[in-house]
Structure 1
Amino acid sequence: MIKDKILSKSNQFNYYKDNYFRLLEENKKIKEDLKKTKKNHNKLKKNNARLKKQNDILEKDNIVKNNDFDLLKPYVLESSIENSDLKFCPVCGRPTEFVPAGITKRKNALCNKCKAFERHRLFFLVLLKKYNHIFNKNIKLLHFAPEKVLYNKFINNESVDYYPVDIDPENFAKKNMTIRDKVNMEEIPYEDNKFDLIINVHVLEHVHDDMKAMHEIYRVLKKGGICFVSVPLSGNYETLQKPEYNTPELRLKHYLQEDHVRLYGYDIKDKLESVGFEVKQYNIDSLTSEEKVWELYGLHNGFVLFVCEK
């Protein structure tokens, strides 16, 4: 007790005592403020996560809208043209008309200017919208039975070491096209992992052993390389191929053309995957659901491009 009396008369003791309790109160307040701050921080984190999620959704939506706008741009630019039947060809990049063509005449089949068919227009749209980054570096490109309209796009491209090939090169001389090598797709005369890009548009339906050809394509494609494949499709799942359909007349009747050896179904995707490819399939609806675009480019969902990555 004497100690307390003595200390109570000490100014120094009272000073430290008062400050001690004051600091205790301040520390208590700081802890409470810190607790509130943490609580607010957690709220902000949740809000930021929610805002980021909303922003991601908006960005994806914006990409889709930009994509639709890019595809519709030719329509907008040509909207003042009086001829409402005028279309736009993504291969030659010009307003045009699509005229009937094919053994069984198809409406809007052929570009009146560059002669690109539907399969070429879909291929070029997918290439431009989804895979144009391929040409950011020097590449080796193998192109089977090259179509003049696509050949012209690649033959003078400085970033492309271009290999246009065919089993019958003489047929291309009259088209002013130079075939680099005579190549049977079932026995491709190149080393493994040589090519960055392979184009195979309406060729497999002519090849007798298509599975062997698919294995060969896989072999010569580099790891990470891409092969574009399109074939005539029946609309059914199973491929139609019967030994008894062995005359030009029967092949025309059942396979759509005298020199076709099968009519593919959608199981071609399974065949391509069975040799090791990862396969994506695109039609015009994969690029946009805007029907104006379908009309503009003369395409519908019956035309499919298979993109095979090794």
Structure 2
Amino acid sequence: MGYPFSVSLILLPGFSLFTLGAVRSVFTAANEVEGEPLYRVRQYSPEGDTAMTQCLLTLAADPLARLNPEQPGLLLLIADGRVDERPLAQVGQCLVQQLQRFGNDGPWVLGACGTGAQVLAQLGLLDGYRAAIDWRIQAEAVERYPATVFTPGLYEIDRNRISAGTGAAVTDLLLHWLGKRHGSMFAAEVAAGLGLDRLRGGDERQPVPASAQPAVGSARLKDALELMAANLAEPLQAEDIAQLVGVSRRQLERLFRQHLDTFPSRYYLELRLKHARRQLKQTTLSILQVGLVCGFTSGSHFSTTYRNYFGYTPREERARLAMPEAETDIGGEDME
């Protein structure tokens, strides 16, 4: 086992700075425990020598073309957002070529966190593998990539493929991966260096935000909330949700009134609008694109509905944050 072991991070547009920090912190702590450089971390961008974060910060990175596919190591995609809804060419044809060169027989361990597993699945690099993915798009990923076994857990380690869901799950993933390479005592020391008192297992489910948490004692309501949270871009009809969870529409409405004091349609709309607000604040997507990924097909409908709920339009939301609206090449009405 040669050292330092190469860790190459591919930062896809709009990636999470939190996730990048978590990854780097794990390998820095591993080097400190060993007292020598076990791991060398470099970051690459398919967009050139810089990478744009989710919060619009620009970080220095090496062009992806400089990645050496002959040297063994870990290649980890860091992504947030629905990267499968944009052509892979948008994140760089070089990325596609490099990943396809590795394949199943390459010298690399391929990994992904957040929504990065979509890229590997779309390229066929997760066919026959178990993988974890952001809980918000898990149902969509299961449908689109049937050759990949997407699970609801925090992370998955399956042979030479590793993956994690959102947030701190990448820390759990890498600590367990280090445990497999160096032993559980080493992983425990690294965890302690990060201030962690326990390692979460990969079979633990990804935490769902409070807005999507079910009321105690209502499994069907829990299932309904998870369906809504996983289908924001293409909202389901109330009848379809009721049928999928095994109740009538009237029973579904009764559950929402009893436990959440609202109606399913109102709850679903609020969930989509709150997701839209996060996208406006945290991504470079245009207002048009935000509306589309939150299930609004009409620009005027998105703008009017957003204003009625929050008190200002999506464009005014962006202006308040002093974020320039991203240009888009998607045709159609510009969203106010």
Please say whether Structure 1 and Structure 2 have the same fold, judged by a TM-score greater than 0.5: no
Which structure would you say has the larger RCO, counting Cα contacts within 8 Å and 6 or more residues apart? 1
TM-score by length of 1: 0.29
TM-score by length of 2: 0.27
Larger Rg: 1
